[in-house]
Amino acid sequence: MSTYHGSCHCGRVVFDVEGEIDSALVCNCSICHRKGAPLWFVPREKLHLRTPEAELATYTFNQHVIRHRFCPTCGIHPFGEGVGPDGKAMAAINLRCLDGVDLDAIPVQRFDGRAL
């Protein structure tokens, strides 16, 4: 299992995440479309914040079930948090915030979030 290091643009939000990146999800819902972030879903316990959680900002909308986490300084969205279909806590990692990841080598799955 690999460990990836990630951060926002200014470096205020720093984290590590464990797992193997086998694909990215690109969603066209109103927020994902604007952010343009390819997402990698992992169990929440595989995301290890190196920044105190109180230093992150949170945005929710619509049904308020996904916590979109972002840096209050630079505004970059490194990850989101929610619950998967199996009821377990999940994190959606913005792959653009991980160091050393070749996005062109990762297969992309498209999700029609506008249809929900």
In whole angstroms, what is the distance from residue 34 CA to residue 31 CA? Answer: 5
- Domain hosting 26: range is 2-115
pLDDT in tens, the chain (116 residues): 899 999 999 999 999 999 999 999 999 888 888 989 999 999 999 999 999 999 999 999 877 888 999 999 999 999 999 998 899 999 999 999 999 999 999 999 987 777 76
pLDDT of residue 5: 98
Q: How many domains does the chain have?
A: 1
Task: Tell me which residue of 26, 28, 41, 23 sits closest to 92, measured CA to CA.
Answer: 41
What CATH number is given to the structural domain containing 74? 2.170.150.70
pLDDT of residue 30: 86
Q: Does the predicted model carry a pTM greater than 0.85?
A: yes
Task: Tell me which residue of 103, 84, 88 sits closest to 37, measured CA to CA.
Answer: 103
Pairing of β 14-19 and β 47-49: antiparallel
